Chains A and B, each alone.
Chain A
Amino acid sequence: MSIMAGSRPDGTRPGAAVEEPRPAVAAATVKESVPRRAAKAGKAGKVPLRVRWRRDRALILMTLPVIALLLLFNYVPLLGNVVAFQDYDPYVSSNGITAIFHSPWVGVEQFSRMLGDPLFWSATKNTVVLFVLQLVLFFPVPIALALVINSVIRPRVRAVAQAIMYLPHFFSWVLVVTVFQQILGGAGIIAQTLEEHGWSGFDLMTDADLFKYLVTAQAVWKDAGWGIIVFLAALSAVSTDLYEAAAMDGAGRWRRMWHITLPALRPVIALLLVLRVGDALSVGFEQFLLQRYAVGAGASEVLDTYVWNMGIQNGDFSYAAAVGLAKGLIGVCLVLGANKFAHLLGQQGVYKK
């Protein structure tokens, strides 16, 4: 993406896209930057549409299948959200889609039901608490790990360390929860060892108060290694000249990290932060469903599991759709807010003003 932006033959506005540390940003936001570029080029209006079509024809044609898939699986199903304003019965007609036309409209009844439902608020509270906790405890971990990895010079050590860190990402949640249960559970390794030395009753897996830390720990173990990829890409883009120059000027390790490495990472951090905030209400699903019995729904119910329970388990699709819709709306507001915040900090965020 960055290469294309820099090497465009007509040279329209290449500047904005190739500021110093941008490459990694662009790499991470390929999807987002496609429409943005198109829009900007349109606004520029210097090159006639016909010329641009001839020039980019192959690229546009190549994107068509993806756009078709995106429309079919991401946008068309969005229409189904209308059931949130109905008392939807999927079986009232010959199939689930025509049933939408036969189900009665109830206005915002599902939403007012949602606002009066203590279970919804409990799920929301859990979700927000977990999000904040993960933001504080999880988000910085991949950055730190990336810095550590980056400071390792020997390629073999580096490759092995990286592989070990990536690996848990490919485990399913069932496996992760089982591994944690085998270690931290009441019949796990630690409990058994303590038992042999006379301490009994160790069981971290069923403690509802510690649950939020437990799931954060699980998430860190599983996904922190994976999360460093983007940061490593950004780090690899930092010119070694800068380090050499700084070293020449007498900057030590820490000063180099503070004045070169971290500033280089800043746009990526801001971007991922915005994306993460936008996704704040999706803290996970399987992880919570699997540990639901262990700590109870009171501690483990998050919005996603709540929607699943209401919709799939209880068959109350309209209500589940209403909750899902509300969650989506809050997500959009959060993205806009976080992006605004990123702009205030002088970063680009997900999109430009």
Chain B
Amino acid sequence: MTPNAASSGLSRRSFLASTAVATAAVAGGVPLLAACSDSGSGGSREGATAGKAADKLLPTYVASTVAKPDIPSKNGSSAGYTSKVDLATLASSVPTRLGTGAPIEVLAPLWGTPPKPGCAYYTALDAAAGTKITWQNQDGNTYGEKLGAVLASSSIPDMVVVPSWELVGKISSAVTAKFMDLGPYLAGDKVKKYPNLAAIPSDSWRMSIFGGALRGIPMPAAAVPNIVPFYRKDVFDKKGYTVPTSADEFLSWAKEATSAKAKVWACGDMRWSAAGIFGVRPAGSLGWNIGDDGKLTYRIEHPEYLEHLEWVRKLFAAGVVHPDDKANTGDPRQRFTSGQILVYNNDMSSWYGKTAEQAQSNPDFEISGMDYFGAGGGSPTLYAGQPAGIWSMIRKDASKETVENALAAANFAAAPYGTKERMFVDYGVEGTHYTVENGAPVKNDRGIQEVNNAWVLLAAPAPYTAHPDLPDITRMQVEWQQRQGAFVKKTSTYGMNIVEPTRYATLSSQFEQLEIDFVRGNKKPSDIQQAISTWKSSGGDKLRGWYKELLDKNGSGN
């Protein structure tokens, strides 16, 4: 983690960092962290396009038939690939090079050290895709600041990666103003020129409509939760702990497991998991839903909202949360691998990432995901994440050739699993970046260094999970997703890319900080109630009216 991230160790930025990097292996989605989609724009830039109006803008869906998943998608999970892939007979999804080699500039976030320009990986990929990309990588943790400044300048790079969580304040109106309508290149059958883009599910494309036009090339995300309450299975087994199945059980287990003397605490900050346990809706536009009583409400207006925070507050008060998590310093992932905390929540990518990382140095290490449970035991209520959360976009006045080269790059990056192109993007060149051991590709040092780049952010295939070296992890991940998927509900705003009017842009911005402070005992329950009533009176009720109209016009998403 960068020093900067110390202040935001658990923020959506650094958090999604790992998601983005590992997207190829992960069913993405931004369940609790979509707070930033509540941003606005002026005039016709706000609102959403859904239903028939949206369908006209979408590319035709042509499913990919390259590789059949071993575990097909179910309950909104990703598709899992667990069997060995014969690297010698990989199919090709891009038979002819689509790029013309005209130079394009791409601005993208990156977590970690970007590879050097002109490195073997870049050269090889450019040659394969027929592109000539100059990368402008910016630190992912502070990408929003850079993005805001770049969009306000008069020289915007040809292609820009835009994560949904950076769409704060007026940036979402900028997206409409500064980026091109890709309809002329992709709508309907035109997309068939780019078969991998055509294989991106329509739901994800629908999420890429900004200001009434298709402006984004999406990275699809699975609807199932991407936040996993991870636990140290090896420690649980050794100590004979049973995995808790209710909120109270969790608390009593946590008290038993915590021993400050031994430098072991039960967990980190469990807010994200608590939202799943107590059935709290995600923040942002997904937080709006028409209930069974026909009333349109926002997430904070339900008693579960305060309840889930009160439960986390209890954990903090009981002293079962690591003091460094309370102070938000250091890296919770490191505390987890070193055994200082036994449970923590993070995105799905940690399952594989931590297993691979610890395999050498800590062979006993075993990470597993807890199933979500209802607060009082029994089934939880989970909410679906949006089907896309990261887009790449093309500058408004880009030339036709630039657009076609950018789309060629995106098409290459969206290659489905089991193709040469996917292998290229995820592993680089055989011999240079990876070697094949026991039929599975293993990156060497150069591979680890150079493959960590932003090609994967340009676009992605339908959500899938595959770890050729650790197929068991793939199976556990997909099975976990399918079990959780059974409890997933969609809110009325699901699948709609909604841009709220600017006047409400900062209405809900105080809640994240308030939650952080409340669970640590630095705010009182009355402060939350006060904030909720202030929210209502200072625009929340009007925003409700706005959403009501929007949903009446576009139809509900669930």
- Contact between B154 and A91 (Cβ–Cβ < 8 Å)? no
* Contact partners of B502 in chain A: CB under 8 A: 89
* Contact partners of A292 in chain B: CB under 8 A: 7, 328, 513
* Contact partners of A192 in chain B: CB under 8 A: 260, 263
Instruction: From A187, A296, A299, name the one whose CB has the most chain B CB atoms within 10 angstroms.
Output: A187
Q: Quick check: is A297 within 8 A (CB to CB) of the other chain? A: yes
- Contact between A294 and B263 (Cβ–Cβ < 8 Å)? no
Question: What distance in Å separates the Cβ of A188 from its nearest Cβ neighbour in chain B?
Answer: 8
Q: How far is the CA of A132 from the CA of B298 in the complex (A)?
A: 43
| Segment with Cβ contacts to A, from B49-57, B168-176, B344-352, B436-444 | B168-176
Pick the contact of B148 from A90, A185, A296 — CB < 8 Å?
A: A90
- Contact between A185 and B505 (Cβ–Cβ < 8 Å)? no
Q: Quick check: is A315 within 8 A (CB to CB) of the other chain? A: yes
Question: What distance in Å separates the Cβ of A59 from its nearest Cβ neighbour in chain B?
Answer: 38
Pick the contact of B516 from A203, A205, A293, A299 — CB < 8 Å?
A: A293
- Contact between A187 and B522 (Cβ–Cβ < 8 Å)? no
- Contact between B517 and A297 (Cβ–Cβ < 8 Å)? yes
Q: Quick check: is A84 within 8 A (CB to CB) of the other chain? A: no
- Contact between A95 and B520 (Cβ–Cβ < 8 Å)? no
Question: What distance in Å separates the Cβ of B1 from its nearest Cβ neighbour in chain A?
Answer: 10
Q: Quick check: is A241 within 8 A (CB to CB) of the other chain? A: no
Instruction: From B42, B340, B516, B517, name the one whose CB has the most chain A CB atoms within 10 angstroms.
Output: B517
- Contact between A201 and B3 (Cβ–Cβ < 8 Å)? no
Q: Quick check: is A150 within 8 A (CB to CB) of the other chain? A: no
Q: How far is the CA of A188 from the CA of B323 in the complex (A)?
A: 9
Pick the contact of A96 from B153, B323, B328 — CB < 8 Å?
A: B153
Q: How far is the CA of A187 from the CA of B509 in the complex (A)?
A: 32
- Contact between A205 and B327 (Cβ–Cβ < 8 Å)? yes
Question: Considering the complex, which residues of chain A in the window 70-100 have a beta carbon less than 8 Å from any beta carbon of chain B?
Answer: 89-92, 94-96, 99
* Contact partners of A99 in chain B: CB under 8 A: 152
* Contact partners of B323 in chain A: CB under 8 A: 185-188, 191, 203, 205-206
Question: What distance in Å separates the Cβ of B261 from its nearest Cβ neighbour in chain A?
Answer: 5
Question: What distance in Å separates the Cβ of A316 from its nearest Cβ neighbour in chain B?
Answer: 6
- Contact between B505 and A315 (Cβ–Cβ < 8 Å)? yes
Q: How far is the CA of A314 from the CA of B174 in the complex (A)?
A: 15
Q: A291-B327, A294-B328, A313-B168 known; A172 and B145 CB under 8 Å?
A: no
Q: Quick check: is A236 within 8 A (CB to CB) of the other chain? A: no
Residue of B whose beta carbon sits closest to that of A119:
B510
Some 30 contacts from A to B, beta carbons below 8 A apart, are A89-B502, A90-B152, A90-B170, A91-B171, A92-B177, A96-B152, A174-B3, A177-B329, A178-B6, A178-B329, A181-B324, A181-B327, A181-B329, A186-B322, A186-B327, A187-B265, A192-B263, A195-B261, A200-B319, A289-B7, A291-B327, A293-B520, A294-B327, A294-B329, A298-B517, A298-B523, A313-B168, A313-B509, A314-B169, A315-B148
Q: Could you list which residues of chain A lie within 8 angstroms of chain B, going by C-beta atoms?
A: 89-92, 94-96, 99, 119, 172, 174, 177-178, 181, 185-188, 191-192, 195-196, 200-201, 203, 205-206, 208, 289-299, 310, 312-316
